[in-house]
Structure 1
Amino acid sequence: MALRAAAAIAAAQPSSRGLLRLLSSRSAYPPSTTAAVFARQAVEPKSSVFVSGLNKRTTSERLLQEFSKFGEVVRTRVMIDRTGCSKGYGFVQYATIEEAAKGIENMNGKFLDGWVIFVEYAKSIPEPRQQCPRHLRQ
């Protein structure tokens, strides 16, 4: 009786070779398109750039100091939360698109206040669609 139970348990468990075959087999389904959805989309050049990866102690004045080496900076802004702490990103607005391109080229991937920063063209915020409440729709 015990021999039958041991044989039934051994038959129910997959062998290591079968498990390896299962894990290494290719899927019959095509690759997911979610990777394409999350891929970075090309942003049209503009005079404003987005800077991420900022040190929490980096200020707008420090951004102005570093980015003004590559052109005339109109405005800088480090985004802060309700408590006054930096969120780790900010914006730099140049006078021209050419200066913005120069700033991106020279500052992307560089160290600023001990942290590696990433610089790219700022994206436009889409305007919210005007929707009326359901009870007002006819």
Structure 2
Amino acid sequence: MALSSSAAFRRIVRGTSSSFSQLKLTFSPSRQSSSFPLDEDSGIKELPPLSTPKLFVSGLSRLTTDEKLKDAFSPFGQLLEAKVITDRASGRSKGFGFVSYATIEEADKARYAMNAKFLDGWVIFVDPAKPKERRPLTTSSPEPEASETGFRSNKTIGWCG
């Protein structure tokens, strides 16, 4: 017999113990699929192998500093760099950072140990870092053209006055 959530809640508040077991079954979390394959025997997620010793750490608290990030990731190997990315204008953390290790094995150990763990009260996620893509240089405004008289003019359409 399926109970609606409000009826189950009312019975729990009134104190009937049989409705609590029904509520537990009613609200049991469903297993959600993941992007990584799950090893059914051990329950451990198989993550793809690393190709670089640099890790991308997301989900950082605004209060996390370079030192706190370094302290959290240093037990897993020789840490070369721990950098929290900050906003240029405000100086506040953007909520992500990078951690570099001496070897790929150390980085892999840190990724397994720190992925989905708490740091400064927030759940962090550790993934392999991707190489930075260079953006092509774009000019914000075209160069004014010279006319027959030698004057330069911008070909702006419309008038803002």
Output the TM-score relative to the length of structure 2. Answer: 0.53
SS of the residue corresponding to residue 61 of structure 2 reads coil
For residues 52 and 83 of structure 2, what CA distance do their matches in structure 1 show?
16
User: Identity over the aligned pairs, expressed in percent?
Assistant: 47
Does residue 65 (structure 1) correspond to residue 53 (structure 2)? The answer is no
Q: Which residue, out of 67, 73, 77, partners 2:83? A: 77
For residues 63 and 113 of structure 2, what CA distance do their matches in structure 1 show?
22
Higher helix share: 1
Counterpart in the other structure of 2:107: 100
For residues 129 and 97 of structure 1, what CA distance do their matches in structure 2 show?
31
SS of the residue corresponding to residue 117 of structure 1 reads strand
Q: 1:1-138, aligned counterparts within 5 Å?
A: 45-81=51-87, 82-128=89-135
Report the Cα offset of residue 125 of structure 1: 1.5
Output the TM-score relative to the length of structure 1. Answer: 0.61
Q: Which amino acid aligns with 1:113?
A: D
Contact (CA 8 Å) 2:50, 2:108: kept in 1 or not?
no
Residue 129 and residue 87 in structure 1: after superposition, are their counterparts in 2 closer, same or farther (change >3 A)?
A: closer
Report the Cα offset of residue 91 of structure 1: 0.3
For residues 84 and 53 of structure 1, what CA distance do their matches in structure 2 show?
17
Segments of 5+ residues of structure 2 without an aligned counterpart are 1-34, 37-47, 144-161
Counterpart in the other structure of 1:30: none
Alignment deviations for residues 6-52 of structure 1 (CA, whole Å, 9 cap, x no partner): xxxxxxxxxxxxxxxxxxxxxxxxxxxxxxxxx89x78520100000
Segments of 5+ residues of structure 1 without an aligned counterpart are 1-38
Number of residues paired by the alignment? 95
Contact (CA 8 Å) 1:78, 1:86: kept in 2 or not?
yes
Report the Cα offset of residue 126 of structure 1: 2.8
Residue 129 and residue 83 in structure 1: after superposition, are their counterparts in 2 closer, same or farther (change >3 A)?
A: closer
